[in-house]
A and B are shown apart, each in its own frame.
Chain A
Amino acid sequence: MLILIQYTVLFASILLLVALGGCFSEHSGVINLGLEGEMVMGALGGALTMKFLPDGTPAVVMVLTVMAVSLLVGMLYSSLLAFAAINLKADQTIVGTAMNMLGTALATVMVKAINISESVDNVSSEIEYVDQKKNLIVNIGKFEFSWFMLVAVIALVVSYIVLYKTRFGLRLIACGEHPQAADSVGINVYKMRWAGVLISGMLGGLGGICYITSGVSSWKFEYGVAGFGFLSLAVMIFGQWKPHRIALAALLFGLLRALSNVYAGFDFLVSLNIPSGVYNMLPYIISLAVLAFTSKNSHAPKAEGIPYDKGQR
């Protein structure tokens, strides 16, 4: 039972981080389909940091550096989306799709290049971080507490306050609802949208490193992040673009994901004889159903996906 709780919380943290990222981007008016790619790049940054930090690095320093690098790489990578979608007014769906393809391809090429340069025989795209990973985890009894759980909770609280209680957040939301109106009262829509996308890149990057360190001690970058970016998108929609609801959605979807991984350990679940694929696809089915019943009065930002052109009336 404890392992189920642990994985639920862990997966929920990942989903929460990335979905909050998506939430910031969409509230500013940019659909971020590239979350998957941003996760991969953040994960790559974090994994390389773990690989190249000297062995004797104190745990605190290491955890903080890994997080900072993931954050930064995710942010830098998301600027590709921001530049294309905001400044060049590109189609956000195409660019997002390209970002996902690019993220996995770039990470694989880089990791393979590094592995090959170390030893010609090693042509895998795998990075190992067995010892380093231990620093990310604190054992409380049998429960493996990961620092990312704390980060996710902090991100949730901060996001809520920033979005609803600060001038910046309210302006950000205004840019996603009615950019022309926001512009007319002197808000720089382009800047706000850049901010939204960059924040989503940061959170996406954090979620990425959190994902590849959850449960495993090495990662093959060929696999990207196996759809977690898209699952986070589902979480965001199920949470109706509101941070507190996103947290609940993340817990529910995290539970389903955890079940698909550990259901073999529970007799009554085994006796139900449901293949793990069902648990894996349930989140998507639930989101579709929710969408089907709520999208007539959807809470999605009104202007999302429409490039803002100052010259247009």
Chain B
Amino acid sequence: MNKKSFWKNDGVQSFIMSLVCIIIGLLIGFIALLIINPAGAFSAIGAVIKNFFNYSSSGARIKYFGNTLVQTAPLIMCSLSVLFAYKVGLFNIGVAGQYVAGACACLYAALAWNWNWFFCMLFAVAAGALLGAVSGILKAYRNVNEVISGIMLNWIALYTTNMLLSNVKEVASPYTYKLAQKGQAAILPQLGLDNIFNKNKYVGIALLIAIASAVIVWVILSKTKFGYELKATGFNKNAAKYAGMAEKKNIIVSLAISGMLAGLGASLLFQTGFEEWSCTQSSVPAMGFNGIAAAFLGGLNPIGTLFSSYFIQHITSGGAHVDKTMYSAQTSDLISAIIVYLCGFVGFFKYLMNKIVSGKKDKMVKEDVKEKAKKEAKEEVKEEASPVQDADIVEPEEGESTVFEENEALEETEGLENEEGGER
């Protein structure tokens, strides 16, 4: 009994699925390397996985570990943004644009107006929220699909940002001024964390903010009435309206919060001074789309996101260490793209897994239920039979419903297991 409930635990399943996706992704990446040049494929895939362990001195290792973490923080925020929207039934593909808007706001405030870091950050959050809210308003009042409006807004944000930040860029290069020179007040405080990472000046408060955000998102979504209302609206707009929730407001608020997270993510990267904005970039930065990857790889769990984001950033940074005389750094992009592709049918895998795990048990449970029905315990049977079906037959196309009921379904399954155990 216990074993069965372990394998049917949604968290366990998500974890296994993510591992399967990662392994298949690495395997295909390895095959690609083999095809390109069999001689160095092993050491190349090793280099990708090792990332900062490729450095021999421990000082360099810890420093580059810090660099990977610096880039992980914005990725965590972007994937939280995607996750938050997805949990409330919206697909926020506009995360990339909201991230861009955040970058625009914090860099402009820092370089043109010399704002303090905290206000730059708030400004970035506001910019992201604004863009998210536009998507939300279009969806709530004009019935425009948030995926389409998100895509359009991504490009609008990109071109606007390129134009605005051209005012604060170096004359000779397409990059914006370095924060260290023109906007020192905007650099995020290090809180002494830089010393832990061998004086890596980029490491600081950003990582803590990202982790705290993950916890906050988790609390909001699973522990508050506010989160419950948002989820209910995403699950069935009309039902939510009928239950007295302001369904239009909830859609807008959901996307605005999602945008806030993405905007904050941009501020966490650009305000460390780790990177400058290139005003000639012709496509939306990959960060937002990697956020989609990390969110799904993390099993759509805020805490899982922390690890999946780190993993994606880890192999992305690791790609720089492959032998450049044979392979290219984009090998790791290839691997993460394959992982996202596989994440697309996690629902199907789970369905298969549930079938395999619960194949025999299902029949027994159903027979039990039938027998009980004969013994006149009709009400009880109804109450118990429906959760059995809900939990066991997870149909992949009902992705939203499974997500929505994730926590509840989990509790129900466990509760059910205990009840049955008692009866036998």
Q: Could you say which of A231, A288, A298 has the most chain B C-beta atoms within 10 Å of its C-beta?
A: A288
Is A157 at the interface (CB under 8 A from chain B)?
no
In the complex, chain A residues whose CB is within 8 Å of the CB of B337:
98, 101-102, 105-106
Interface residues on A, range: 35 or more
In the complex, chain B residues whose CB is within 8 Å of the CB of A296:
142-143
Is A248 at the interface (CB under 8 A from chain B)?
no
Contact of A93 with B142 at beta-carbon distance under 8 Å, contacts A226-B282, A281-B160, A284-B155 already known: no
**Complex Cα distance A290/B333, Å?**
35
A223 x B325 contact (CB < 8 A): no
Cβ < 8 Å to A, chain B residues 385-408: 395-397, 399
A284 x B156 contact (CB < 8 A): yes
Contact of A33 with B333 at beta-carbon distance under 8 Å, contacts A98-B340, A113-B36 already known: no
Is B189 at the interface (CB under 8 A from chain A)?
no
Is B274 at the interface (CB under 8 A from chain A)?
no
**Complex Cα distance A106/B166, Å?**
32
**Complex Cα distance A98/B330, Å?**
15
A98 x B341 contact (CB < 8 A): yes
Contact for A105 among B37, B292, B330, B344, CB less than 8 A: B330
In the complex, chain A residues whose CB is within 8 Å of the CB of B396:
88-90, 307
Contact of A95 with B341 at beta-carbon distance under 8 Å, contacts A109-B334, A120-B325, A125-B328 already known: yes
**Complex Cα distance A306/B343, Å?**
18
A90 x B156 contact (CB < 8 A): no
Q: Which of B146-154, B169-177, B257-265 contacts A (4 or more CB under 8 A)?
A: B146-154
In the complex, chain A residues whose CB is within 8 Å of the CB of B155:
227, 230-231, 280-281, 284
B328 x A109 contact (CB < 8 A): yes
Is A138 at the interface (CB under 8 A from chain B)?
no
CB of B13 to closest CB in A, whole Å: 17
Which residue of the partner chain A has the closest CB to B339? A98
Is A99 at the interface (CB under 8 A from chain B)?
yes
In the complex, chain B residues whose CB is within 8 Å of the CB of A101:
286, 289, 293, 333, 336-337, 340
Cβ < 8 Å to B, chain A residues 168-222: 222
Contact of A234 with B152 at beta-carbon distance under 8 Å, contacts A90-B347, A97-B292, A309-B397 already known: yes
In the complex, chain A residues whose CB is within 8 Å of the CB of B424:
none
CB of A121 to closest CB in B, whole Å: 9
CB of B28 to closest CB in A, whole Å: 10
In the complex, chain A residues whose CB is within 8 Å of the CB of B91:
93
Contact for B334 among A105, A280, A312, CB less than 8 A: A105
**Complex Cα distance A100/B124, Å?**
27
CB of A197 to closest CB in B, whole Å: 14
Which residue of the partner chain B has the closest CB to A234? B152
Is A5 at the interface (CB under 8 A from chain B)?
no
In the complex, chain A residues whose CB is within 8 Å of the CB of B93:
33, 93, 97
Cβ < 8 Å to B, chain A residues 299-313: 306-307, 309, 312
Contact of A291 with B144 at beta-carbon distance under 8 Å, contacts A112-B328, A226-B282 already known: yes
**Complex Cα distance A89/B338, Å?**
17
Contact for B326 among A116, A237, A281, A307, CB less than 8 A: A116
Number of A-B contacts (CB under 8 A): 168
Cβ < 8 Å to A, chain B residues 113-169: 138, 142-145, 147-149, 151-156, 159-160, 162-163, 166
**Complex Cα distance A125/B333, Å?**
14
Contact for A109 among B36, B151, B324, B336, CB less than 8 A: B36
Is A131 at the interface (CB under 8 A from chain B)?
no
B395 x A309 contact (CB < 8 A): yes
A288 x B149 contact (CB < 8 A): yes
**Complex Cα distance A112/B43, Å?**
18
Which residue of the partner chain B has the closest CB to A101? B337
Is B211 at the interface (CB under 8 A from chain A)?
no
Chain A binding site: helix, strand, loop or mixed by DSSP? Answer: helix
A292 x B328 contact (CB < 8 A): no
In the complex, chain B residues whose CB is within 8 Å of the CB of A68:
none
**Complex Cα distance A198/B140, Å?**
34
B153 x A288 contact (CB < 8 A): yes
A88 x B292 contact (CB < 8 A): no
A109 x B283 contact (CB < 8 A): no
CB of A236 to closest CB in B, whole Å: 10
How does the 8 Å CB contact mask read for A102-123 relative to B, with 1 for contact and 0 for none?
1011101100110011001001
In the complex, chain A residues whose CB is within 8 Å of the CB of B284:
227
CB of B283 to closest CB in A, whole Å: 5
**Complex Cα distance A95/B337, Å?**
10
In the complex, chain B residues whose CB is within 8 Å of the CB of A90:
344-345, 347-348, 396
Which residue of the partner chain A has the closest CB to B137? A292
In the complex, chain B residues whose CB is within 8 Å of the CB of A226:
282-283
Q: Could you say which of B37, B325, B334, B347 has the most chain A C-beta atoms within 10 Å of its C-beta?
A: B334
A94 x B343 contact (CB < 8 A): yes
**Complex Cα distance A275/B97, Å?**
20
Is A166 at the interface (CB under 8 A from chain B)?
no
Is B79 at the interface (CB under 8 A from chain A)?
no
Is B296 at the interface (CB under 8 A from chain A)?
yes
A227 x B283 contact (CB < 8 A): yes
Q: Could you say which of B93, B138, B148, B284 has the most chain A C-beta atoms within 10 Å of its C-beta?
A: B148
**Complex Cα distance A280/B159, Å?**
7
Contact of A292 with B147 at beta-carbon distance under 8 Å, contacts A277-B160, A309-B395 already known: no
CB of B33 to closest CB in A, whole Å: 9
Cβ < 8 Å to A, chain B residues 32-73: 32, 36-37
In the complex, chain B residues whose CB is within 8 Å of the CB of A99:
341
Q: Could you say which of A80, A100, A281 has the most chain B C-beta atoms within 10 Å of its C-beta?
A: A281
Is B327 at the interface (CB under 8 A from chain A)?
yes
Is B14 at the interface (CB under 8 A from chain A)?
no
CB of A224 to closest CB in B, whole Å: 6
A109 x B32 contact (CB < 8 A): yes
B282 x A227 contact (CB < 8 A): yes
Can you pick out 8 interface pairs between chain A and chain B where the beta carbons lie within 8 Å of each other?
A90-B396, A98-B340, A102-B340, A226-B282, A230-B151, A233-B151, A281-B160, A285-B156
Taking A109-B327, A109-B330, A231-B155 as known contacts, 6 extra A-B pairs with beta carbons closer than 8 A to each other, sorted by chain A number, are A90-B396, A93-B91, A109-B334, A226-B282, A230-B154, A295-B145
Top 3 nearest A-B pairs by Cβ distance? A112-B328, A102-B337, A105-B333
Residues of B in contact with A (beta carbons under 8 Å apart): 32, 36-37, 91, 93, 138, 142-145, 147-149, 151-156, 159-160, 162-163, 166, 282-284, 286, 289, 292-293, 296, 324-328, 330-331, 333-334, 336-338, 340-341, 343-345, 347-348, 395-397, 399
